[in-house]
Structure formats: structure tokens, C-alpha cells
């Protein structure tokens, strides 16, 4: 399995602040035991109040830069998962300047979500209403020049459309870039603002992008029945999301993600209840459910091969140089 989105860098940084690595060690062991061979490790930023409540009072402070947080957390993860293909990501660029990207790239940043749920200087997430800003275009220009993947999960509809339009303009100049929605499901099945409409899914495919269908039940099962359906029915809904995206854009453009929020359950107990499967069994259970519809070759693509191909393409671009 190649997990397309888990906030592993945030967990690592919180563990560093607490001087307690027990949860992180448990998760990394589960990855190893489940033969999870790759993961997009994410460091994320929300509003100051949300970060204090959900993560740690000192998670973000003016005296500690995003670059420092990134360096600390990536070093921890590289030590804990030395044999895993690690793709480092930042979600929500509220406290990040475009000028930071060179340093972050040199430390291993390979994926970026310009926005989380709220509005920032680059664009707007799904709890706000504005679109891509001029600073957002500067961010995209720099990201493209470096070869960092552009991740559209969490972008609201206007920001999403603006980014797609801007990238199509850049493509006309024959520039190479990488696009994905690392943890987004089908809105036609579960009508949540974080999920994608069919035309958005197709737009990502048209830019040779990848969709990570994720196993958070709040975005799998329609809200009005999510607390009433049994486990088998939840699994059937998850498979419906996979099938829907595959039918729209083909099996080569689909992957899987967890986006497990169990580590935030101290702030809100519901976070410990949102996963379709316990993280200790995530890979084996996803493989079992996908096997109901797809053959072994297709399951291997969805579970690992498609994201592995993206990971390799980004690293091959690195070996060729930043500007090709």
C-alpha cells in the first residue's frame, strides 16, 4: 500500500513537543506490519485556535518557523521508517512564504496543498468562498519550477477552478507539473463540501492527475445515515466511491489514503471514530474490499502502483534538474 495522505509529520512534531513518541511508534509499527511501503507524510496548519485545541498549545509559535518544524518532523520520520518510500507534504500554506520553498524543497518537500479549510493569502478552502489570489499564482509558479506536486484536496470550488485554469495556461507553455487530490471522495455519493464533483474529478485526470479515495467514514457515507449503517454497508459505500472514480477517469488515476485523525481524539472524541478500519488493519482490509470488484493487477495499481509511479516521476524529475 502507498498511503496518499496521513498527517504523519504533524504527529511527529506533536510527539517531539510532548517528548512522547509512543503513539507515533505504534502507528509506524502498524505501517511496517501491514506492508505499507509508501506514505505521503503531511505537516498541516489550521487557524491558531484550532492548532492549539486539536494538536498542541505550542504546535505553531512565531519563534519557530515552518522550515524548522518541517526539518524536525521529517528527520523523526526518516529515522522511524527508514525502508519506506516517503513523500513529504505541507497542507495549508497560511504561515509559509513563497521564499521558503527553496529551503523546504532541499529538505524533501514534494507535495503541497495551498489551502486547508479556511481562507489564506494564496486561496480559499472549503469553509470559505474566495478564489486563487495573485500570491497564489506566485506560489504555483514556484512550485512548478521546483517540481513539487500540487494537491487540490480541501480547495473550495472557486479556488479549485482557478488553479485548474491557471495550470492549463501553464501547460500551453509546455511546462511539466504534477497534480493530485490526495484525500478526496466522490460528492455524488457523499455530498460533503470536501468531496469532488464529477467534473472536478475529470479535470484532475485531464491534467494527468491522481485521486486518493480516503477511508474516513464521514466522507464515505451520506451524513444523514452515517451513524446508522453497519460496517459491511460502510465498506460497500467505500467501494462505490472507488468504482465511481475509476469509471470516470480510469484505474490508472486512482489511489487510496487514510487521513486518519485518531491522534486528535483528545480534542474531540469523534476523531477516534471516523476511520472505516482500525489503522492496524488498514491495508489488508482495503485490499480485501477492492478484491470484490477488481482483479489482483488492478488492486495492486490502486493500492500501490499508481502512487508509486507518481512518486518515481517526481524523483526522476529531481534527478534531471529543477527546470526541464
Q: What does the angle CA 179 – CA 188 – CA 246 come to, to the nearest 5 degrees?
A: 50
Burial zone of 315 (CB within 10 Å; 0-12 exposed, 13-18 middle, 19+ buried)? middle
Residue 274 and residue 227: Cα distance in Å, rounded? 10
- The model's pLDDT over 29-67, given as tens digits with 9 standing for 90+, comes to 888 888 899 999 999 999 999 899 889 999 998 788 999
Phi, psi of 218 (to 5 degrees): -65, -20
Q: What is the mean pLDDT of residues 97-109?
A: 97
Q: How sure is the predictor about 323, in pLDDT bands with cuts at 50, 70 and 90?
A: very low
Confidence of residue 249 (pLDDT cuts 50, 70, 90): very high
Residue 31 has what pLDDT? 86
Task: Give ∠ CA 102-206-182 in degrees, rounded to 5.
Answer: 55
pTM: 0.94
Angle between helices 282-290 and 231-249 (to 10 degrees): 60
d(CA 121, CA 108): 24
pLDDT-derived band at 173, boundaries 50, 70, 90: confident
The band of 75, judged by pLDDT with boundaries at 50, 70 and 90, is: very high
**Cβ distance 258 to 5 under 8 Å?**
yes
Q: What is the pLDDT of residue 254?
A: 98
What confidence tier does 267 reach under pLDDT thresholds 50, 70, 90? low
- Nearest residue to 179 (alpha-carbon basis) of 124, 250, 114, 102: 114
Rounded to whole angstroms, the Cα distance separating 316 from 167 reads 21
Indicate whether 140 pLDDT > 90.
Answer: yes
When pLDDT is averaged across residues 3-16 and rounded to a whole number, the result is: 95
Cα of first residue to Cα of last residue in the chain, in angstroms, is 30
According to the model, what pLDDT value does residue 324 have?
A: 36
Q: How many percent of the chain have pLDDT more than 70?
A: 95
Q: Residue range 115-126: average pLDDT? A: 94
Report the mean per-residue pLDDT for the chain. 92
Q: How far apart are CA 132 and CA 145, in angstroms?
A: 18
- Asked if pLDDT for residue 158 goes beyond 80, the answer is yes
Give me the helix-helix angle, 22-33 and 8-18, nearest 10°.
150
Domain count, the chain: 1
143-156 per-position pLDDT tens digit = 999 999 999 999 99
Q: Is 270 exposed, middle or buried (0-12, 13-18, 19+ CB in 10 A)?
A: exposed
C-beta atoms surrounding 9 within 10 Å: 25
Classify burial at 129, counting beta carbons within 10 Å of its beta carbon; exposed 0-12, middle 13-18, buried 19 or more. exposed
- Indicate the pLDDT class of residue 269, thresholds 50, 70 and 90: low
* pLDDT of 84 strictly over 60: yes
Give tens-digit pLDDT for 189-227: 999 999 999 999 999 999 999 999 999 888 999 988 878
- Residue 134 structural domain: 2-320
CATH number of the CATH domain containing 176: 3.20.20.140
Q: How far apart are CA 303 and CA 305, in angstroms?
A: 7
pLDDT exceeds 60 at position 321: no
**CA dist., res. 173 & res. 170, Å (int):** 5
Q: Dihedral through CA 142, CA 152, CA 103, CA 56, nearest 10?
A: 150
Amino acid at each position: 500500500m502507498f498511503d496518499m495522505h496521513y498527517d504523519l509529520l504533524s504527529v511527529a512534531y506533536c510527539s517531539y513537543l510532548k517528548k512522547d513518541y509512543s503513539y507515533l511508534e505504534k502507528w509506524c509499527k502498524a505501517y511496517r506490519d501491514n506492508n505499507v511501503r509508501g506514505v505521503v507524510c503531511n505537516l498541516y496548519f489550521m487557524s491558531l485556535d484550532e492548532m492549539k485545541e486539536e494538536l498542541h498549545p505550542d504546535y505553531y509559535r512565531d519563534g519557530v518557523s515552518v522550515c524548522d518544524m518541517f526539518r524536525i518532523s521529517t528527520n523523526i520520520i526518516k529515522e522511524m521508517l527508514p525502508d519506506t518510500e516517503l513523500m513529504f507534504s505541507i497542507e495549508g500554506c497560511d504561515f509559509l512564504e513563497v521564499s521558503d520553498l527553496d529551503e523546504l524543497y532541499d529538505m524533501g518537500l514534494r507535495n503541497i496543498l495551498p489551502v486547508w479549510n479556511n481562507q489564506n493569502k494564496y486561496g480559499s478552502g472549503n469553509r470559505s468562498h474566495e478564489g486563487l489570489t495573485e500570491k497564489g499564482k506566485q506560489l504555483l509558479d514556484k512550485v512548478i519550477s521546483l517540481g513539487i506536486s500540487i494537491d487540490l484536496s480541501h480547495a473550495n470550488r472557486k479556488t479549485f477552478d482557478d488553479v485548474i485554469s491557471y495550470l492549463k495556461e501553464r501547460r500551453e507553455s509546455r511546462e511539466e507539473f504534477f497534480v493530485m487530490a490526495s484525500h478526496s471522495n466522490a460528492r455524488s455519493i457523499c455530498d460533503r463540501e470536501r468531496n469532488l464533483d464529477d467534473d472536478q474529478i475529470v479535470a484532475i485526470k485531464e491534467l494527468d492527475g491522481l485521486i486518493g479515495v480516503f477511508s474516513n467514514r464521514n466522507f464515505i457515507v451520506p451524513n444523514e445515515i452515517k451513524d446508522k449503517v453497519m460496517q459491511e454497508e460502510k465498506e460497500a459505500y467505500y467501494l462505490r466511491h472507488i468504482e465511481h472514480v475509476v469509471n470516470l477517469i480510469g484505474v490508472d488515476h486512482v489511489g487510496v489514503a487514510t487521513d486518519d485523525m485518531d491522534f486528535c481524539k483528545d480534542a474531540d472524541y469523534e476523531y477516534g471514530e471516523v476511520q472505516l478500519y482500525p489503522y492496524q488493519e488498514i491495508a489488508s482490509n482495503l485490499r480485501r474490499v477492492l478484491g470484490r470488484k477488481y482483479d489482483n493487477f488492478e488492486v495492486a495499481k490502486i493500492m500501490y502502483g499508481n502512487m508509486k509511479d507518481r512518486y518515481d516521476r517526481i524523483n526522476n524529475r529531481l534527478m534531471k534538474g529543477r527546470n526541464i
